[in-house]
Amino acid sequence: MTLRVPGNQGNWWHFLAGAPFFLAFPITWLRLRSLFSTRPSTAFARRLVWSFVGLSIAGTTAVEVPFLLHLAGTSEWQRFSVLGLGFGIVVASFAILFVRRRHSSPTRACLAGLDTAYLANMALCLVVYAGAPGNISSRSGWFVSMVIVWPIVLELALLLIQTFRTSVSQTNPRTA
């Protein structure tokens, strides 16, 4: 991540767009911990994760403000895509997690929060940089992100679906 953008094209914007990609580290740590540890995560660790999630969503939201105010200089379709995907992913995930909060384990909710924040930012970057000029080597980050986005979408969908399956199996013991 660099803060020196040619022509000073909004260094703060590129910093806010790139910073949430560092969520890959807590996502990997929490995923490995949930797979290999028998103990649940501590309350402090969950608060730390939710702090990362909040900061990431705040950064993604700050990046989306120019699109919201028609200041980004993009087409209407690109503007709609950025706002719809970015805010849509966050709002939908938050609504499901909030409504089903009693039926989801804290670690699973943390993973869903991290995936949500990461995915909202990644969707924004994929839409904005899809038409960026340059050769394939200069756009390699976009191609890598395009490959990475699908497992994250799948994991988030599975985490959110599991909150519904947990409540069904608890209310109907014959399905368990």
* pLDDT for the residue numbered 91: 92
Please give the share of the chain, as a percent, with pLDDT higher than 70. Answer: 77
Q: Domain for residue 13, yes or no? A: no
Radius of gyration in angstroms for the set of CA atoms belonging to the chain, rounded to a whole number: 18
Range(s) of the domain holding residue 80: 23-33+42-167
Q: Domain for residue 16, yes or no? A: no
Q: Domain for residue 54, yes or no? A: yes
Q: Domain for residue 105, yes or no? A: yes
**Residue 71: burial class (beta carbons within 10 Å; 0-12, 13-18, 19+):** exposed
Rounded mean pLDDT of the chain?
76
Q: Tell which wins on pLDDT, 117 or 36.
A: 117
Q: For the chain, give the number of residues.
A: 176
Which band of pLDDT confidence, cut at 50, 70 and 90, is reported for residue 160?
A: confident
Q: Domain for residue 118, yes or no? A: yes
pLDDT in tens, 55-107: 888 888 887 877 777 766 777 888 888 888 889 999 998 998 888 888 878 87
Q: Domain for residue 126, yes or no? A: yes
Which band of pLDDT confidence, cut at 50, 70 and 90, is reported for residue 8?
A: low
pLDDT in tens, 38-47: 777 788 888 8
Q: Domain for residue 15, yes or no? A: no
Q: Domain for residue 11, yes or no? A: no
Q: Tell which wins on pLDDT, 87 or 108.
A: 87
Q: Give the number of domains in the chain.
A: 1
What is the C-alpha separation between 164 and 72, in angstroms, rounded? Answer: 39
* pLDDT for the residue numbered 1: 42
